[in-house]
Chains A and B, each alone.
Chain A
């Protein structure tokens, strides 16, 4: 028997009035992987996550969580996943321990179990020293950690993290990454959203690139980089005048995009042959570059190539 994917969504759409926030998105998330929804602000990431976590009803499309239909079995399915929202949703008027305890009880634990699990999580997330302080005294990083620990109370098979590191300083972000990797090692499936390419590249096994509610690319970080096979050529000339003349010569040699900034010219192109043509044209025009660099695409390039001019 083939095991069901952690998440399977089919032509998922969400409309807010006239506006289509999510537009026929389909993808599968395999058990045990990190899946990143990558996209700029307003792309529809949170909306997708809210639909996956039963907070929002899809306008159309189907969602399956570990083989369960989300619409027909929503209350039961909720015990399979945990959610840490974009903004830490913890109870400001309670202590960290009380937060964990009440949510443990709500997750169906008995009083005794709730006490034990709370202690365990407080230790695991280095919150034990502030366990009985009110949250008003907590830093942003501590709030996030508490938020995440609350989502992990029931040891969910799947955990959703909406922009888990947005607004965190670099050190706290590293910590969060470490925590996420530990979760995956323990067998949890992680679905996270992020605006940071680096984060997706670092953590994810698969990335879904979302823009304007549409799935614009889907694959491993490596495959995405290769998909936009465009390579970059950076040429530096003596002065701006030469660079301007070079733009002409280069544009005749390639279908790629040619851009000039001061005495530098950047060319994006697909065919390796173009390099030869460009260099020949430059020679004919009696222009010689001081410096030439060829660059492989980064995930940033993929991101910008696919979402360029839209946001």
Chain B
């Protein structure tokens, strides 16, 4: 009998995540969106719009920081779609599929590496806020809890973008559609502006936007220091998204 072997899901997934890390190390510009973008947005909104919206920077930061946090996480989540689409067009996935590894490992590795991107985006956002004078009223512990909640939700969203990456024709297309989705979701939310200043019709749109809901939950935790019902709902939504989109993405991936 001929000797055949299989590489474990654990080892193959870690190797794939490691590959992703190497790629990022060689091309630090892949981190631009998770490093430069949050800094830029934080500075721009903090110093440019704070006067108009809240009177001064300090008054605006408690509103702004959770908004920028979510905005950079959604932006980071779109990256998985671009990367997956890229790997398909270069034929790497074909090669991976002929290896004695579990079929889902490349996808799992990608999504594992995405957690790192999300954590970087979250850290940069909050650190920039801190340097600008933001202090979480409820303390560091609650801030970390918010990061965990939002990163989890961002990770759930990256499954949706991963699925889109599998369907799209080119990674450039994934990039532009993702950017548009991100801008719409974030700007039509309460990320940067208080809802009460909006005209009635916009108010409805913004309140329907799930991103507003997440940001509200984050603000409550950061400012009041307790875990509201809305945070449970956000957590639940993340679980629902993952339990729908993870199997779906894996299925589509396997059939490609």
Are B95 and A85 in contact (CB-based, < 8 A)? Answer: yes
Residue of A nearest to B12 (CB): A106
Indicate if A145 sits at the interface (CB-CB under 8 A): no
Nearest CB of chain B from residue A214's CB, rounded to whole Å: 25
Of A103, A108, A154, most B-chain CB atoms within 10 Å: A108
Are B2 and A80 in contact (CB-based, < 8 A)? Answer: yes
Are A91 and B97 in contact (CB-based, < 8 A)? Answer: no
Nearest CB of chain A from residue B244's CB, rounded to whole Å: 25
Indicate if B169 sits at the interface (CB-CB under 8 A): no
Query: Which residues of chain B (92-145) have a CB below 8 Å from chain A?
Result: 92, 94-103, 105
Number of interface residues of B (CB under 8 A): 29
Are B5 and A81 in contact (CB-based, < 8 A)? Answer: no
Are A94 and B26 in contact (CB-based, < 8 A)? Answer: yes
Nearest CB of chain B from residue A251's CB, rounded to whole Å: 52
A93 contact set on B, CB distance < 8 A: 22-23, 26-27
Residue of A nearest to B7 (CB): A108
Are B94 and A55 in contact (CB-based, < 8 A)? Answer: yes
Are B2 and A107 in contact (CB-based, < 8 A)? Answer: no
Are B101 and A106 in contact (CB-based, < 8 A)? Answer: yes
Are B22 and A105 in contact (CB-based, < 8 A)? Answer: no
A201 contact set on B, CB distance < 8 A: none
Nearest CB of chain A from residue B248's CB, rounded to whole Å: 20
A108 contact set on B, CB distance < 8 A: 5-7, 11, 100
Our count of residue pairs bridging A and B at CB distance below 8 angstroms stands at 91
Render A105-118 as a binary contact track against B, CB cut-off 8 A, 1 for contact. Answer: 11110000000000
User: Residue A75 contacts which of B6, B19, B92 (CB distance < 8 angstroms)?
Assistant: B6
Residue of B nearest to A76 (CB): B4
Indicate if B91 sits at the interface (CB-CB under 8 A): yes
Nearest CB of chain A from residue B132's CB, rounded to whole Å: 34
Query: Which residues of chain A (66-84) have a CB below 8 Å from chain B?
Result: 66-68, 73, 75-83
Residue of A nearest to B23 (CB): A93
Indicate if A13 sits at the interface (CB-CB under 8 A): no
Render B1-21 as a binary contact track against A, CB cut-off 8 A, 1 for contact. Answer: 010111100011001101100
Indicate if A150 sits at the interface (CB-CB under 8 A): yes
Nearest CB of chain A from residue B5's CB, rounded to whole Å: 5
Interchain Cβ contacts under 8 Å between A and B, 17 examples: A68-B2, A75-B6, A76-B4, A76-B6, A77-B4, A78-B99, A80-B4, A85-B91, A88-B91, A89-B92, A94-B19, A94-B26, A98-B19, A105-B7, A106-B96, A106-B105, A108-B11
Task: Using CB atoms and an 8 Å cutoff, list the residues of chain A in contact with chain B.
Answer: 53-55, 66-68, 73, 75-83, 85, 87-95, 98, 102-103, 105-108, 134, 150, 154, 157
A-B interface, 3 closest residue pairs, ranked by CB to CB distance from nearest: A89-B91, A76-B4, A79-B100
Task: Using CB atoms and an 8 Å cutoff, list the residues of chain B in contact with chain A.
Answer: 2, 4-7, 11-12, 15-16, 18-19, 22-23, 26-27, 90-92, 94-103, 105
Known: A79-B5, A102-B15. 13 other contacts (CB 8 A): A54-B97, A75-B100, A76-B4, A82-B98, A85-B94, A89-B90, A94-B22, A103-B95, A105-B7, A105-B15, A106-B99, A108-B11, A108-B100
